[in-house]
Structure 1
Amino acid sequence: MAGAIVKRFQGAARTRRRPGLGALALLALFAAMLPGQLAVGQTSPTAPQQSGPQQSGPQQPRPQQPGPQQPAAPATPAAEAPAPPASPSVDEATRISAEARARLLASARVVFDREKVRLAEIETVLARRNHTGAQLDDLRSQLATSTAALQGALGPLTQRANAAKALLDQLGPKPDEKKDGPETAEAAAERENRQHNYSEISDTARIGHALLLQANQLAETVSGERRSQFTHALFDHTWSIFSPELWSFVATAAPSNLKALVTIGSDWLSALQERIADRRMLPFGLSLVALGLVWLARRFLLRRLHARIISYNAPGQLRRAVSGLFVTVSDTAAVALGCWLLYLGLDGSGLTPASVDPLIRSVLQAIVAVTLMRGLIVALLAPNTPQWRILAIPDQTAGPVARALTAAVGLVVAGWALGEVLEASGGDRATATALDAVINAGVALVLVRMLRRMRDGVDCEEQSLGPYIPAGGAATGVWRLGAWILAFLILAATAAGFIPLANFLINQTLWTLTLLAVLKLLLVMVDEGIDQAFGDNSRMSLAMQTTVGVRKRSLQQLGVVLAGVLRITLIALAALLALAPFGIQSTDFIGSVRNVFFGLSVAGFNISPVSILWGLALLVVGVIVTRAFQGWLQQKFLPATNLDSGLRNSITTATGYLGVFIVVAATLANFGLSLDRIAIVAGALSVGIGFGLQSIVNNFVSGLILLWDRSISVGDWIVVGAEQGYVKRISVRATEIQTFERASIIVPNSTLVSGTVKNWLRNNRTGRIAITVGTGFQKNPQVVADLLLKCANAHPDVLREPKPTVLFSNFTTTTQEYDLRCFSDVEAMSRIRSDLNYRIFAALTEAGIYATPGPALSEVRLLLPEDLQRAIGERAAPAGRTAGAATPGQPATDS
């Protein structure tokens, strides 16, 4: 391959040597011609500024130069054209670019060859079996280094390949000789050169991508073997806690183990006596003095500070979390400092031999671990100070839970320290297994006792009232159920002989609870701290509102977003730490993130978080710029013109659509999606648009039509069916209409385009008012018409042109109807009509045409014959005299 590459470079050098020689020949010819031209110019008699003596003397022999240079003197255009000296610079740039490309390819090939050898060695090692954890960690580290080197070499290659591909695509496909004719020699040479450059870079990049894939596969193999070893170690079956064989082995090995411990103790005492005899105990004495000072500071200063903090009566969540974290960290730091000083004193005095050093380290670490766990338990549960409790649990539950967790932590740490002692003394496996089994059973029994002692505030004297169901009992029940399941699994695994599984369950539970405790404190601090910092009356909020001019709502939104980002970050870190005991290390996570960060290939496009972030940033900035330009148009520029509000809104909306289209196109171009590919996707989606998205596209196109022809504009008074009102906004999908009752009506744009719409303000603001007036029979109708015209002409808002008119529209033998028609501003028509009605009524009443307001009462008379009337009167007279008269013995009645 190296020989082929050298031949390629030699062929490229030969193809570039010819135009370079031609350019050098032209340059030599130009240099030879230039002195002759200068000489001719100097001997020219037409030079206005040259005198006779300057032309004589040395200038005489120059016209006797050879013939080919004589006609070159009048050829002034050749001397003025700067084209010939430009060729060497182009050739030089081509040569420099080729050399840079060659260096890039050479360096990439060196990296690829080195990593290829390394990957082959790793693959050979992995072909063997029974790898230790340290070996797998070393292989993982080598693979991470190899992956980083390959990615570093592929980055510039990928960029150069993309650039070469873009240059090649600019020439387009090779033309068809039958249809378009043969391609020119210059275009063919340029195409061949660009194709050669692209092929050379892309072939090298393919080798790097293949090696990167191999590295990822090997890393997956290493991870799979680690998971296999972890699973095998986790489910390793040993002795059961009830196995007589186990305790028989323990009893047999007990004397030797005790002898080893006694030996270690006696050796350490002997070393101590020697150090005392040699007077080499000064470091240990100084460490004891420092330890005493630390103990005094912790005993008096920290305790007094803690008591002062706890004396606060009504602390908030933020104060509780900060105080709890401060108390935990300060107390743990003091204990850790004391343990560190003690170890320094022992080590400085030579009291940490190889057999005792692990034992001392484990004991000191156990003390620090117990202090930390106890501090977190007190910070969250606060069994003695309920007002400082962060977790919302009752007092009767906080005490047993805190004591049980403290006992469980103590047992686990004690078991770990004793295990280190056994390992330092060379203890056997059976004794270590028995120790783990006893510790596991003890932790499970402590957990069961805690669950049985937990109470939800049920008093004994209230048992007769029925069971008490507290608020939040579902969450408490879930935690209790999980605790019971955990205790059962620990006891079952210990009894069945899966001691490593029980150990893992206990350790993982304590580790997870520790992470959850720290995470809870940090989340409370983040939520409450940001809430108070971005609150309405906080100092920072007021300062930003007054100095920067940020709105209160924007500050609240910023606080919510910031809190959300911090919460996600903390939760992700806690999850990563919680998965560490399962064999998932941070290098795995970082490597996966790096692979994703480096880029994912989807349908031929390399999409990475970097490009996504850049695209989102471009989109956000573009939208902000578009909205700012829209605001400038709407508030500054367009109001200074004579355009009406509807046209101004159309211009503003169209500008927004155009800006968003340009921004989206630029964002997609950042991802490598050009408009022609988008058109292909749009064509593929045309079937779906034809069925499911037809109405949406129809409304969108209708909205563009409304903005273009301006048949309906913002601010127009339109009538659509039974609804009418003002157009408030024309969006992509629908138009918003505000009725006179201040209700908003959303009308699809397609309805406005295809339906019938009455627009009162389409052409002008003039509208006709028609008032129908009914009167009784009048002998002279012109009197009524004159009164109506007088009322219309007297109103100041009625237009004089066109003039008001009165039509005598209808009449009967008893009634007459008149139509008054006048013109006014459309938006004032209702008010003007009401005013005219008042004036017309008053004028007609004053003229006597309306005698009384409202219709007259009707009177009905019956005309009967005179003899019938006389008979009715005679009959009614005696009845009237006897009506109501009472007879003896009867009450009076009315007839």
Structure 2
Amino acid sequence: MKAIMPRSPRLHLLLLVLLLCIPAAPRAFAAEENSAEKPIAGAPVASDGRQVTSQITSWSASLDKLEVTVRNPAADEQTILEARTQVEAIRDEAQALAASVNSSLAETRALLDALGPPPADENTKESPELARQRASLNAEISDLDGRAKRALVVAARADALVLIAVENTRKQVTAKVMAQGPSPFSLELWETGLPETLDAITALSGVPLAWWSAPETGAKLATAWPTVLLVIVGATIVGWPIRRWLLRKGGPKPEEEEPSQGRRVLAATAAGLATCAIPVLAIVSVYVSFSVHGLLTGDFSLLARGLVAGLSIYIVVSGFAHVALQPRLPQWRISGLSEKSAETLESRLKLLGVMIGVNSFIWIAFNLAQADGSFRALVNLFANSTIAFGLWPILGDRAWYRSEAMVSAEATGGETVDPRLYVFPRRVLRLLVLAIPVTALAGYYNLSDYITRNVILIGALFGIFSALTTVIGEATAAMLNAQRGPLRQVRSALGLSDDSGKVAHFWLAGFFNVALGFALFLAFLPSAGVPRQDIANFLESGISGVRIGNFTISFTDILLAIVVFIVALRLTRMVQRLLERRILPQTRFDTGVQNSIKSAAGYAGTTLGLVIAVSVAGINFSNIAIIAGALSVGIGFGLQNIVNNFISGLIVLVERPVKVGDWVVIGGAEGTVKRINVRATEIETFKRTTVIVPNGDLISQPIVNYTLHNKLGRIDIPVGVAYGSDPSTIEKTLIEIASSHKSVLSFPKPRVFFLNFGASSLDFELRCFLANIEEGALVRTDLMYAVERTFRERKIEIPFAQSEVNFKDRDFDRIEALINRFLDQRDAQRAEPAGKHEGTGNA
């Protein structure tokens, strides 16, 4: 069993792949059944001509009515959206009909093509049966072509109406946001709005008393108080243990000194749920209990709803601000803020929570969504100005200073790091916050609401994005670096090393972060004024594909093709490792053949994965062939060297003039072949440097391969002895030395050759064969040490180069004259400085 266990991860993955392939079988059989049940080419489509005409007429009449609604400037946004939905439904049905008709049209044309062209010669007549069938097919083609074009006309008209609806919706949203009301500087606004505001406050303050004094309230309270009490007690009994469990299991622990960033985010989430979610759920439960028993009616219902909303917002904002910033536990602080900035930001966020809660209460309790006129203008001015007053200090520099540890960590190489965080985004948001009261004072109350809502939403989404990206990064790192359990087995089966694990973590976390950012961006679009229908259509087009000319680009298909290609590459690497470690070692193939099989498997798997990925992406191979044919000439000239090296690489793998592990000499490079790639071969020299040799050079240039068929090789050692030595003794001594070495073969036996009468020595050469020529340098060194030691012991002289110089008699006279001249010049140079010093002294 122990010998089988290492294979279990691969077996598991193989079983998983087979299980994933099983669902494809029913679809394949279903496709065959559908194709078998499909009517023969030329058969009429589901609807005959009159039915299609009636349907198109009905669509056209509906579009006429919807066009009036879409183009009506008085129509509201909701009416236009409903009309647009109907137009899009008609468009989809028309396109489906056109696709069905075109499919039948293609089949009918294939039948007509099978009949061949009519006789060109007037004297040659076609058989009556063929002529009748040709005429029937031509009539059917004409009818089907007319149906398809009429359906496409309806679809095109519907598309045009959709564009008109989108444009009118955009104009209405813009007009609504940019609508200008009475200016706060207008005396008339205050004369009418202030009394209305005071009356509304007076009326709202009397709502609780009126509710309490109502006759039915007492009876309903008598019935409801046991339930309400039970809800409160139940929420306390259930919520308190859950709160303690969350804090104990996931909350921050003061004794833990260096938690990871992901651990801090999870701790803040757990503590936030414990301190915020449970109280909010308790408040909402009491509200629901009152509502179920009919205690929330009339204006009191608005008042209660506003209290629940305002109180819940304050609890959530203040609670999460505290657990995220942790002024007293800096090691559990999510952001890298200093302690002073964390305290400042927490207090300002709590103040903002109070302001947002109060404004939410005012908005709901006074039912401002249904209010208008001066009253709403004054309340809007007050509400947006107070929120701007709360947002302004939050975006100040004082609340965003980095901690000293964060500054020192980022200050590498003596660089100066700005201690403030998010300087530019905060300045942009401050300009928007400044625009809130300015637009309200100018009378653009809707624009002020728009900016306020989106600034708060941007801040909330940014916080969510920062927290979730941290959790995603920690989670992917934990999965890819798992040291135990199933994830460890999957990692080993996929062959993820530490370096490849880091690369996989970068791309996997990056993919999830981009997907998260895209999802949050889509969540922001409705608040920015983009209709949800447009967002849904955008997502649908991304899934179904966008048609550009004759091509359909589907982002989901492209993403799926990328995933399929990556999976194919990983499976190919798994197969290569299986061949390298388990299958090929059990064969008698040499290392070169094993490497060629492994490389061929890699090329085949990569090619197959690429073909499957292209098919999944929906790319037509005929289109690729046309484009490749058009560009083949230019690509042939521009990439001929690359293609040459690629083909040469295939030839090297097949003919194997060199193999991995061979000792080769090519050009000026000598070393061991380490890798044979598609374009080039890597040779590692004996100095441990890598030489990249194009595969074309391996085919076109001569190569010296010391280990092509085997590692048998010969080494030659030149030896010179002094004149007067006995050549026979030299020969016997050298053969004795060579034969005594364990790496020298006895067959072929060592030989000594008398090469030359040198200028200073008698020149011999010892030649011996080795079973492994890769040991040649070591054996050569050992033999040369042995030769020097043995010659010294046996008094055999190894001479060094000597030269004799003969001078003629007349040369001595010239030499003597040159020496005397040199001495005179030296004496004159020594005397000249002394004369200068004496002249200076006399002066």
Maintained 8 Å contact 1:111/1:150:
no
Post-superposition shift, 1:612?
3.6
Out of 784-793 and 388-397, give the one that drifted further.
Answer: 784-793
**Counterparts of residues 465-504 of structure 1 (less than 5 Å):** 473-478=419-424, 480-504=426-450
Q: Does 1:382 align with 2:382?
A: no
Residue matched to 1:63: none
Determine if contact 1:444/1:490 at 8 Å carries over to the other structure. Answer: yes
Superposition deviation, residue 114 in structure 1: 5.7
Contact map agreement 1:716 1:727 (CA 8 A) in 2: yes
Secondary structure of the 1:475 match is coil
Q: Which residue of 2 aligns with 1:684?
A: 630
Deviations 1:805-843 (A, max 9, x none): 443332268632223334444334334433443444455
* 1:604 and 2:544 matched: no
1:473 is paired with a residue of what secondary structure?
coil
Asked if the contact 1:359–1:424 (Cα under 8 Å) also holds between the matched residues in 2, the reply is no
User: Among 432, 442, 459, which residue is 2:386 paired with?
Assistant: 442
- Residue 256 of structure 2 is matched in structure 1 by 314
In the TM superposition, residue 435 of structure 1 has moved relative to its aligned partner by 1.7
1:334 and 2:276 correspond: no
Distance 1:283 1:134, change over 3 A: farther
> What is the rounded CA distance, in whole Å, between the counterparts of 2:637 and 2:508 in structure 1?
42
After the TM superposition, which residues 161-240 of structure 1 pair with which residues of structure 2 at under 5 Å, given as runs? 211-240=154-183
Q: Which moved more, 1:295-304 or 1:422-431?
A: 295-304
CA distance in 1 between partners of 2:365 and 2:308 (Å): 13
Letter in 1 for 2:229: V
Matched AA of 2:83: L
Number of aligned residue pairs: give it. 752
1:324 paired to 2:268? yes
Answer with 1 or 2: which has the greater Rg.
1
Change (3 A) 1:768 1:598: same
Q: Check the 8 A contact 1:394/1:457 in 2, yes or no.
A: yes
Correspondence for 1:737 among 657, 663, 683: 683
| Counterpart position of 1:400 | 344
Give the C-alpha shift of residue 434 in structure 1. 1.6
Please say which of residues 446-455 and 322-331 is displaced more in the overlay: 446-455
C-alpha contact 2:42 2:140 (8 A) present in aligned 1: no
Correspondence 1:521 to 2:463: no
Residues 170 and 792 (structure 1), Cα distance of their counterparts in 2 relative to 1, 3 Å cut? farther
Q: Which moved more, 1:557-566 or 1:522-531?
A: 557-566
1:283–1:396 CA distance, 2 compared to 1 (3 A): farther
Relative to structure 1, the CA distance from residue 491 to residue 130 in structure 2 (aligned partners, 3 Å threshold; closer, same or farther) is same
Once the two structures are superposed, what CA deviation does each residue of 1:480-529 show, in whole Å capped at 9, x if it has no partner? 42453234222332333323222221121112222333333333333334
Percent identity, please. Answer: 25
Tell me: CA distance 1:385–1:846, structure 2 relative to 1, closer, same or farther (3 Å): closer
Which residue type is aligned with residue 348 of structure 1? H
> Structure 1 residues 739 and 244 mapped into 2: Cα distance closer, same or farther (>3 Å)?
same
Q: Residue 663 of structure 2 contacts residue 671 of structure 2 at CA under 8 Å; is this kept in 1?
A: yes
Assess if the C-alpha contact under 8 Å between 2:183 and 2:443 holds in 1. yes
In 2, Cα distance between the equivalents of 1:539 and 1:198? 64
Cα distance 1:775–1:672, how it changes in 2: closer, same or farther (>3 A)? same
Aligned-residue offset at 1:737? 0.8
Q: Distance in 2 between matches of 1:485 and 1:214?
A: 44
**2:215 is aligned with 1:275:** yes
Tell me, in whole angstroms, the C-alpha distance in 2 between the residues paired with 1:634 and 1:414. 70
Return 151-160 or 830-839, whichever deviates more: 151-160
Structure 2 counterpart of 1:374, which letter? S
- The 5 A counterparts of 1:518-597 are 518-532=464-478, 535-537=481-483, 541=487, 553=498, 563-597=509-543
| 1:544-567 superposed Cα distances (whole Å, 9 cap, x missing partner) | 679x89867587777666544543
| Cα distance, 1:636–1:266 mapped onto 2, change above 3 Å | closer
1:706-727 Cα shifts (integer Å, max 9, x gaps) = 3344333333221123321111
User: 1:690 Cα deviation (Å)?
Assistant: 4.7
Counterpart in 2 of 1:880? none
Tell me by how many angstroms 1:311 deviates.
Answer: 5.9
Structure 1 residue 432, shift from structure 2 partner: 1.3
Structure 1 SS opposite 2:73: coil
Q: 2:796 aligns with which of 849, 852, 861?
A: 849
Q: Write the distance in 2 (CA, Å) between the matches of 1:348 and 1:610.
A: 49
Q: Cα offset for 1:754?
A: 3.2
The CA distance in 1 between the partners of 2:325 and 2:676, in whole Å, is 58
Check conservation: 1:734, 1:747, Cα contact below 8 A.
Answer: yes
Q: CA deviation at 1:281?
A: 3.4
Gaps of 5+ in 1: 1-91, 460-468, 861-895
Q: Which residue pairs with 1:345 in the alignment?
A: 290
Q: 1:779 to 1:371 in 2, by over 3 A?
A: closer
Provide the C-alpha distance between the structure 2 equivalents of 1:136 and 1:243, rounded to a whole number of angstroms: 35
CA drift of 1:433 comes to 0.8
> Residue deviations 1:676-699, cap 9 Å, x none?
644432333335435543332232
Tell me the amino acid that sits aligned with residue 279 of structure 1: A
SS in 2 for 1:579: helix
Whole-angstrom CA distance in 2 between matches of 1:722 and 1:608: 52
Shift of 1:760: 2.2
Q: What does 1:824-839 align with in structure 2 at a 5 Å threshold?
A: 824-825=770-771, 826-839=773-786
RMSD between aligned alpha carbons? 4.9
Query: Where does residue 78 of structure 2 map in the other structure?
Result: 134
Q: Secondary structure at the match of 2:172?
A: helix
Query: 3-state DSSP class of the match of 2:461?
Result: helix
Matched with 1:429 is 373
- Sort the Cα spacing of 1:813 and 1:389 in 2 relative to 1 into closer, same or farther, 3 A: closer
One-letter amino acid of the structure 2 residue matched with residue 716 of structure 1? D
CA–CA distance in structure 2, aligned partners of residues 800 and 572 of structure 1: 76
Please state if 1:371 is matched with 2:311: no
Cα distance change, pair 233–778 in 1 and its aligned pair in 2 (3 A): same
Mark the CA change 1:146 to 1:337 in structure 2 (over 3 Å): closer, same or farther: farther
For residue 724 of structure 1, the aligned residue among 655, 661, 670 is: 670
Deviation at 1:735, TM superposition (A): 0.4
Q: Structure 2: which amino acid aligns with 1:578?
A: F
SS of the residue corresponding to residue 218 of structure 1 reads helix
Equivalent-residue separation in structure 2 for 1:234 and 1:386 (angstroms): 43
Compared CA separation, residues 217 and 374, structure 1 to 2 (3 A): farther
Q: Distance in 1 between matches of 2:604 and 2:205?
A: 85
Q: Which amino acid aligns with 2:661?
A: G
> Residues of 2 paired with 1:672 and 1:172: CA distance?
32
Separation in 2, partners of 1:187, 1:627: 58
- The answer on whether the counterparts of 2:344 and 2:398 sit within 8 Å (CA) in structure 1 is yes
Cα 1:541–1:221, aligned 2, differ >3 Å: closer, same or farther? same
Write the letter of the residue equivalent to 2:165. Answer: V
Cα offset, 1:346, TM superposition: 5.3
Task: Give me the whole-angstrom Cα distance separating, in 2, the residues matched to 1:279 and 1:524.
Answer: 54
